[in-house]
């Protein structure tokens, strides 16, 4: 086979040597536009896991690379005069030039033809090639030529950064944050050889411009950075090796590259994207070079597995690597956004700021950090607990963040787990009875701090289905009081009520008889902000509310609020999400009014705020009220996360104590991006920008998720839905899974506690033995980037 690699970076060189090693008879050529010892940038970073992959692929080059690495375990965070360290991270740094030279020498040993100082303009210049690798970097000409086939999506991120070096030797991967009159700057620094470190300086573009860096010469900009970060440099200067760049050109915005496909046949041979030509991952998780090398490993492996069938090999390569790359890019996106929004997190205490940084990608979780550095995590857990009013006296276990108490007004929750409101559609005439007593009572006994009853309607025509609960008469009030009294008498949990009006999504069948389908008979009239048909051609049409409708519905909500107080609920939530009545006012997708209740966001919020204020006035002052919102409609032209912050601020000003951060369900055209904890970023942003406590919801399914969210200050409570349907005692089980044994169980259930804990400990030990890995090795394998 005749293979040509266009571009002599890590991807092209490594693929060339792997193919030549496996098939010495192949003709393999690497064509590079620069000279052998040219390089731009300084050091690159690998995880220990990546080194293992290199060792398996080609031991000679891996051995030389390992010998050239500078290794560290610690990450150091410098913020507001504090230095906080955690260990066990297992990263290595190597000079980019040194890495390329090692790969170049190994290629020459194996017989790969290296052609330098040749600027390839077109892949068709290699008519005899059987396979062309487009490893020509971030600004790939080949990708650009075949853009219609590869369909690249290039997103220029909002920070400017400059890649510098210094002879100050850092003994940890060091992050430094400095606030200026213009805004926050941050540095990423790590040592990569015996006397040199990479030193990347970064700031949001608006901060960079306000500081005047756009108009500075290269020398002036470096001097600015030296002054700003002087206390970390110990008198050492900052250095640039980008001699080809002048002035502000050395400050770039990171381009996130995603390609829909990676393989295209040019009419003569397949052209395959590899490395930065196919994808990029932000330098803050150090994965660009890792991805390039692992692309090369996987393509060589796929060709080996499908001898004589190059088409199949290339299809396998794209299928396997696109999934892994997407996983890394998702983590990189989270990390990128964290650094773009340092100002959002700068109000956190240094301890929490550092923890938030360490877990920013969502790939490193609370328990993963514990495996890396148990002492650090336990110190941090004690800090979290003390701020919640708990003081540990050894030999007591440290209290995981999810089991710290939380107080709002006069209500104290024993921990941070909430049973999310989940529609059960099991009432007759809106009356909660035995089903809800068992359903909510069982979950109140299961360890959660609070159970939230499903959306309850203030009138019969406010229901989603005939099976939905209501609170518009005294019989319903008394039915709820029976359930509230049970929870208070037999558990230490609190119980909340969520009030909401279905609007245009009402008068439908229960889901198991046809979800979102209108009733076969007995439908009631629907109202909403504007005329609406939720499912085109299927749902009944609603009509726009007039002033009389608004007054009636507001009075209904107030009546239900008073009944809720009489029933003894501890907490009240107003449902303003998911396309229901009040949500239909907020979203521009469903509000086309031209009066004072339509148009701007302030106008669209007017009626929901009127309802909320009236309810707040009727609700006991000592008890909390929260509001559930859709923080993202996931439809072009709908509510965005930016809007969500403004919505939260408006409800906060009206007296809301907390925002319950959900998303979607406003339009059937929505296109959510699902994943674990996928809605938590909304809670994070609202909490830390609007300055109001939040509830995180959505794909939070294990204790590790809850601990990570609470510890990082991304939300104050976590609402868990479906896991509680599967197991009413989810919270008790999760405590046992993470080895936290100090959680109180109901007296009646205590005989099962120790047995469960022993069984889970035995399962953990057996799994570790079967894997043959130490806890730290397991952590790095599972989560390390």
Question: What is the model's pLDDT at position 781?
Answer: 52
Which residues is 273 bridged to in the sheet?
134
Measure the CA angle with vertex 668, ends 663 and 672; round to 5°: 40
Write down how long the chain is: 785
Question: What is the model's pLDDT at position 38?
Answer: 66
Indicate the average pLDDT of the chain. Answer: 94
Q: Show the DSSP H helices in 463-600 as ranges.
A: 474-490, 547-567, 581-586
d(CA 681, CA 148): 33
Question: What is the model's pLDDT at position 623?
Answer: 98
Three-state SS for 371? helix
For residue 678, pLDDT over 80 is answered with yes
Over residues 306-323, the mean pLDDT reads: 94
Over residues 355-384, the mean pLDDT reads: 95
Cβ atoms of residues 575 and 490 within 8 Å: no
The owner of tokens 């230490």 is 492
DSSP 230-294: HHHHTTPPEE---TT--GGGGSEEEEEEEES--EEE-SSSEEEE-GGGTB---GGGT-HHHHHHH
For residue 28, pLDDT over 50 is answered with yes
For residue 784, pLDDT over 60 is answered with no
- pLDDT tens digits, one per residue of 432-483: 999 999 999 999 999 999 999 999 999 999 999 999 999 999 999 999 999 9
Strands 82-86 and 183-191: unpaired
Kindly report the pTM of this predicted structure.
Answer: 0.92
For residue 486, pLDDT over 50 is answered with yes
Cβ atoms of residues 576 and 582 within 8 Å: yes
Banded model confidence at residue 679, pLDDT cuts 50, 70, 90: very high
The burial of 234, by beta-carbon neighbours within 10 Å (0-12 exposed, 13-18 middle, 19 or more buried), is given as exposed
For residue 780, pLDDT over 60 is answered with no
Question: What is the model's pLDDT at position 44?
Answer: 85
Report which DSSP code applies to 215: G
Cα dist from 733 to 228, 417, 694, 728, 738, whole Å: 50, 13, 25, 10, 9
Three-state SS for 203? strand
- pLDDT tens digits, one per residue of 115-162: 999 999 889 999 999 999 999 999 999 999 999 999 999 999 999 999
Let me know if 580 is a catalytic residue.
yes
Banded model confidence at residue 785, pLDDT cuts 50, 70, 90: very low
Question: What is the model's pLDDT at position 390?
Answer: 93
CA torsion, ordered 502, 508, 512, 513, to nearest 10 deg:
170
DSSP 435-500: HHHHHHHHHHTTT-SEEEEEEEBSSGGG-SSTTS-B-SSHHHHHHHHHHHHHHHHH-S-EEEEEE-
Cβ atoms of residues 38 and 8 within 8 Å: no
Between these two residues, 93 and 649, which has the higher pLDDT value? 649
Range in 24-38, 300-314, 602-616 the model is least confident about: 24-38
d(CA 393, CA 403): 16
Which residues is 162 bridged to in the sheet?
201
Nearest by Cα to 9 from 123, 114, 100, 145: 100
Based on DSSP, count helices (H) and strands (E) in the chain, helices before strands. 27, 29
- pLDDT tens digits, one per residue of 194-223: 899 999 999 999 999 999 999 999 999 999
Neighbours of 350 (CB within 10 A): 16
The proportion of the chain whose per-residue pLDDT surpasses 90, expressed as a percent, equals: 85
Nearest by Cα to 624 from 387, 405, 413: 413
Over residues 547-554, the mean pLDDT reads: 98
Question: What is the model's pLDDT at position 169?
Answer: 94
Strands 270-273 and 263-265: antiparallel
d(CA 485, CA 494): 11
Choosing from 580, 597, 607, 740, the catalytic residue is 580
Over residues 179-201, the mean pLDDT reads: 94
Question: What is the model's pLDDT at position 707?
Answer: 98
Nearest by Cα to 94 from 226, 290, 329: 290
Over residues 336-353, the mean pLDDT reads: 97
Neighbours of 351 (CB within 10 A): 18
Cα dist from 244 to 39, 202, 499, 655, 730, whole Å: 11, 20, 63, 57, 59
d(CA 540, CA 532): 8
Question: What is the model's pLDDT at position 731?
Answer: 97
- pLDDT tens digits, one per residue of 708-737: 999 999 999 999 999 999 999 999 999 999
Question: What is the model's pLDDT at position 767?
Answer: 81
Which residues is 575 bridged to in the sheet?
628
Banded model confidence at residue 768, pLDDT cuts 50, 70, 90: confident
For residue 246, pLDDT over 80 is answered with no
- pLDDT tens digits, one per residue of 102-118: 999 999 999 999 999 99
Question: What is the model's pLDDT at position 37?
Answer: 66
For residue 41, pLDDT over 70 is answered with no
Strand segments (E) across 125-212: 131-134, 152-166, 173-180, 183-191, 197-204
DSSP 427-441: -BTTB--HHHHHHHH
For residue 96, pLDDT over 90 is answered with no
Question: What is the model's pLDDT at position 231?
Answer: 97
């Amino acid at each position: 086979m005749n293979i040509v690699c266009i571009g002599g970076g890590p991807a092209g060189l490594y693929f060339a040597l792997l193919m030549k090693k496996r098939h010495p008879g192949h003709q393999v050529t690497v064509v590079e536009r620069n000279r052998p010892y040219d390089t731009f940038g300084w050091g690159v970073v690998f995880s220990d896991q990546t080194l293992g992959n290199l060792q398996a692929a080609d031991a000679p080059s891996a051995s030389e690379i390992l010998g050239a690495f500078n290794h560290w375990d610690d990450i150091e965070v410098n913020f507001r005069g504090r230095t906080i360290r955690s260990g066990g991270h297992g990263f290595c740094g190597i000079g980019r030039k040194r890495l390329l030279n090692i790969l170049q020498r190994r290629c020459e040993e194996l017989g790969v033809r290296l052609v330098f100082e040749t600027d390839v303009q077109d892949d068709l210049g290699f008519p005899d090639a059987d396979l062309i690798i487009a490893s020509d970097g971030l600004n790939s000409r080949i990708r650009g030529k075949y853009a219609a086939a590869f369909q690249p999506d290039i997103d220029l991120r909002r920070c400017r950064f400059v890649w510098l070096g210094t002879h100050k030797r850092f003994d940890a991967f060091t992050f430094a944050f400095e606030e200026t009159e213009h805004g926050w700057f941050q540095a990423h620094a790590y040592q990569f050889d015996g006397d040199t470190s990479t030193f990347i300086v970064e700031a949001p573009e608006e901060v960079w411009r306000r500081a005047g860096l756009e108009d500075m010469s290269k020398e002036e900009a470096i001097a600015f950075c030296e002054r700003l970060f002087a206390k970390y440099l110990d008198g050492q200067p900052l250095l640039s090796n980008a001699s080809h760049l002048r002035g502000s050109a050395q400050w770039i915005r990171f381009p996130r590259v995603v390609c829909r496909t990676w393989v295209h046949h040019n009419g003569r041979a397949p052209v395959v994207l590899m490395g930065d030509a196919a994808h990029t991952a932000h330098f803050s998780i150090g994965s660009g070079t890792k991805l390039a090398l692992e692309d090369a490993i996987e393509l060589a492996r796929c060709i080996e597995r499908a001898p004589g069938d190059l088409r199949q090999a290339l299809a396998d390569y794209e299928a396997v690597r696109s999934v892994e790359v997407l996983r890394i890019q998702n983590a990189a996106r989270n990390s990128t956004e964290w650094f773009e929004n340092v100002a959002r997190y700068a109000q956190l205490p240094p301890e929490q700021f550092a923890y938030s940084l360490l877990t920013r990608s969502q790939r490193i979780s609370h328990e993963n950090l514990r495996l890396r550095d148990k002492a650090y995590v336990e110190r941090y857990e004690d800090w979290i607990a003390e701020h919640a009013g708990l003081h540990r006296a050894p030999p007591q276990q440290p209290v995981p963040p999810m089991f710290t108490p939380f107080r709002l007004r006069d209500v104290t929750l024993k921990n941070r787990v909430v049973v999310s409101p989940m529609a059960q559609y099991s009432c007759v005439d809106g009356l909660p009875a035995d089903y809800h007593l068992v359903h909510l009572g069982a979950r109140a006994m299961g360890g959660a701090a609070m159970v939230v009853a499903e959306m309850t309607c203030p009138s019969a025509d406010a229901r989603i289905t005939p099976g939905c609960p209501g609170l518009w008469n005294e019989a319903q009030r008394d039915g709820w009081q029976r359930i509230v009294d049970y929870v208070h008498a037999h558990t230490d949990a609190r119980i909340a009520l969520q009030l909401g009006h279905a609007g245009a999504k009402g008068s439908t069948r229960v889901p198991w008889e046809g979800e979102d389908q209108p009733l076969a008979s007995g439908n009631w009239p629907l109202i909403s902000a504007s005329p609406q048909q939720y499912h085109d051609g299927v749902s009944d049409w609603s009509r726009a509310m007039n002033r009389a409708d608004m007054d009636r519905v507001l009075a209904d909500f107030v009546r239900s609020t008073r009944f809720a107080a009489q029933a003894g609920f501890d907490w009240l939530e107003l449902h303003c999400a998911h396309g229901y009545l009040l949500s239909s006012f907020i979203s521009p997708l469903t509000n086309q009014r031209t009066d004072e209740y339509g148009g701007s966001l302030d106008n669209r919020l007017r009626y929901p705020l009127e309802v909320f204020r009236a309810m707040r006035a009727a609700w006991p002052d000592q008890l909390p009220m929260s509001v559930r919102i859709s923080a993202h409609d996931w439809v072009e032209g709908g509510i965005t996360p930016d809007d969500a912050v403004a919505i939260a601020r408006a409800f906060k000003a009206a007296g809301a104590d907390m925002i319950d951060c959900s998303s979607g369900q406003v339009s059937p055209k929505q296109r959510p991006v699902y994943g674990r904890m996928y809605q938590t970023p909304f809670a994070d942003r609202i909490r830390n920008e609007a300055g109001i406590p939040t509830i995180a919801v959505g794909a939070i399914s294990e204790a590790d998720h809850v601990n990570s969210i609470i510890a990082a200050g991304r939300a104050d409570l976590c609402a868990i839905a479906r896991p509680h349907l599967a197991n009413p005692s989810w919270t008790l089980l999760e405590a046992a899974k993470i080895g936290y044994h100090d959680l109180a169980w109901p007296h009646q259930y205590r005989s099962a506690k120790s047995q469960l804990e022993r069984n889970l400990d035995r399962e953990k030990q057996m799994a570790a033995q079967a894997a043959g890995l130490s806890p730290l090795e397991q952590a790095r394998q599972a989560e390390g980037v």
